[in-house]
Amino acid sequence: MKIRAAACIACTLAAMALAADPKATPEEARKFIHDAEQKLLLLGVDSARADWIKSTYITDDTEAIAAKLDEKAIAATVAYAKQATRFDGLKLDAETARKLKLLKLSLTIATPADARESEELTRIVTGMEGTYGKGKYCPSGPASCRDLEELSKILAESRDPKALRDAWTGWHAISKPIRQDFVRYVDLANKGARQLGFKDNGAMWRSKYDMAPDDFSKELDRLWDQVKPLYLSLHAYVRNRLHEKYGDAVPPGGAIPADLLGNMWAQDWDNIYPLIAPANADPGYDVTALLKKRNTDWKQMVKYGEGFFTSLGLAPLPETFWERSLFLKPKDRDVVCHASAWDIDTLNDVRLKMCIQITGEDFLTVHHELGHNFYQRAYSKLPPSFRDSANDGFHEAVGDTIALSITPEYLVKIGLLDRAPDTSKDIGLLLHKALEKIAFLPFGLVIDQWRWKVFSGEIPPEKYNQAWWQLRQKYQGIAPPDPEGAPRGEADFDPGAKYHVAANVPYMRYFLADILQFQFHRALSQAAGCTGPLNRCSIYGNKEAGAKLNAMLEMGQSRPWQEALEKIAGTRQMDATAIRDYFAPLQKWLDEQNQGKPLGW
């Protein structure tokens, strides 16, 4: 994810049909938004610095200070957004009108007007993220404690059902204490959103897409319908292979237990690739092993990422990036290890916060995070209001687009791989990618399907966990691990064991990014003159593709996202045909493998 630091500009009054003040003038509106931008920028920098220290050194004090400065920045934004209603309906130049609109739209949380409630809300949000960051599973006393990185390694590598279940259950216990706070957070966040004219906090999140919130929900349904056949085929194939491996723990026509898919949240499944690799089409290399063989260290990992962006013609990262980032997990203190890219002053002070491990997965995550940082630098020349991505899915898609260019041929070019496998291995390559990108699609949907219903009250606190697993089953076709007499219940709070839920980060952006990155990749590959299959196209070193990408990045959010999409992909619609094109040969292969076997659950 990316942390939007400075200038938390935003919130929605769009729904509030307040009449303009008859005395308000366009000149006043321009001055108002200019002043707001300057003031919020300063408050944003203060809160970003405090957040940085808190995230890289979790203590009661750093949490308290960060909560206080976040509160100040958010409350100021809310106040400006409320004042801005006096310009509603006034005829304004396009730039001022867009800035005023964005002012009302970019908060992910709005503090209520009551001072005590405002303080309580920011304290709760900071505290939940801290609890997640400090989370450990200690089966038998302090010496036995394991953190998320260690538990994730078990999920990724172990094939022992007992060890998997234990690691899964151990991690999912860290969020039990978050539950009470979460209930209160939902109440207060809704209150803040309502005071800004939204129906609830979920409605506020859905209003950020340059289209009516209901139309946005319809777009999501349309995109999901486009990709669902691919997911069903992948799910059925994986289930068959896991059934062969684990027996009836994986029922042939049912949901797959969540702890058997190689990832703590079953959100991407590439770690179980070795279990399901096609016999004749395995490309025969593993990026983790390649990195280890060359003794790659954290710095080289980041340099590979930076090198890709500069090969496209973008400027290298500033010296301060290397001085101020957190690259490794400190041994002596708690930090929030969940990777993120920061933009402290929205100018040059970009940073990475990550506990880098030398794995293929983290190799991709580095590219993902640097995508945020290069986007941030590209739009830093715009007025403060426009220093963000076209929509939040764009921000999440940029680094992933670059990572789609990490082809075998590219790995050869940078000296990690000796020889690229020929096209007879493409099914293996595609299957590996599908475990990452296709497996993720329903997960990308599910988190906010759950949260939107929680914010609207359709899912009440006494059904949090039950509803969570119903949605996980419905979209992903996965089930909680075999309970061994202890089924998941309402004492558990399984959604809170996912970072973005505990930390109030919207999630639909990742679903959008999963679709968009293939649109971007297809368009940039064309610009680079690649005519081969999409999974073999790499834009590395191609200045035409770089210029096309940069033209979109430099727009920031100065124009509706549809225009940014048009700039890079020549269309104004999000479109899943690119991801379907990319995986078309795999879909055909999967359907052959699945013949005579049940589809769905």
Give me the residues that bind ligand ASP (CB under 6 A), please: 1, 338-339, 365, 368-369
Residue 465 buriedness (CB in 10 A; 0-12 / 13-18 / 19+): buried
How far CA 227 is from CA of 198, 393, 397, in Å, comes to 31, 17, 17
| Least Å from the CB of residue 337 to ligand ASP | 8
Residue nearest to ligand SER (CB): 510
Nearer residue to ligand SER within complex by CB, 1 or 302: 1
| Least Å from the CB of residue 511 to ligand ASP | 12
| Least Å from the CB of residue 393 to ligand SER | 11
Nearer residue to ligand ASP within complex by CB, 368 or 437: 368
Nearer residue to ligand SER within complex by CB, 1 or 459: 1
Q: Which positions from 220 through 249 interact with ligand SER, judged by CB under 6 A?
A: none
| Least Å from the CB of residue 359 to Zn ion | 18
Give the one entry of ligand ASP, Zn ion, ligand SER, none that residue 511 binds, where binding means its C-beta sits below a cut-off of 5 to 8 angstroms depending on kind.
none
| Least Å from the CB of residue 352 to ligand ASP | 11
Ramachandran sector of residue 498 (left: φ over 0; alpha: ψ -120 to 50; beta: rest): beta
Residue nearest to Zn ion (CB): 1
Q: Pull the structure tokens for residue 119.
A: 């303080």
| Least Å from the CB of residue 366 to ligand ASP | 9
Diameter of the chain measured on Cα atoms? 75
| Least Å from the CB of residue 205 to ligand ASP | 16
CA 468/CA 451 separation, integer angstroms = 9
Nearer residue to ligand ASP within complex by CB, 148 or 390: 148
| Least Å from the CB of residue 328 to ligand SER | 19
Tell me whether strands 340-343 and 350-353 are parallel, antiparallel or unpaired: antiparallel
Nearer residue to ligand SER within complex by CB, 131 or 550: 131
- How many angstroms separate the first and last alpha carbons of the chain? 31
Q: For ligand SER, how many residues bind (rule: CB under 6 A)? A: 3
Tally of CB atoms within 10 A around 149: 11
Ramachandran sector of residue 36 (left: φ over 0; alpha: ψ -120 to 50; beta: rest): alpha
Q: Please give the angle made by the CA atoms of 44, 45 and 49, to the nearest 5 degrees.
A: 115
Tally of CB atoms within 10 A around 334: 18
Nearer residue to ligand ASP within complex by CB, 191 or 338: 338
375 binds ligand SER (CB under 6 A): no
Tally of CB atoms within 10 A around 275: 17
**Using CB under 6 A as the criterion, what x/- string covers residues 495-534 for binding ligand SER?**
---------------x------------------------
Site residues (vs Zn ion, CB under 5 A): 1, 396
Backbone angles phi, psi at 141, to 5 degrees: 90, 165
CA 472/CA 442 separation, integer angstroms = 8
Query: Beta partners for 417?
Result: none
Nearer residue to ligand SER within complex by CB, 37 or 436: 436
CA 410/CA 406 separation, integer angstroms = 6
Nearer residue to ligand SER within complex by CB, 197 or 371: 371
Give me the residues that bind ligand SER (CB under 6 A), please.
1, 267, 510
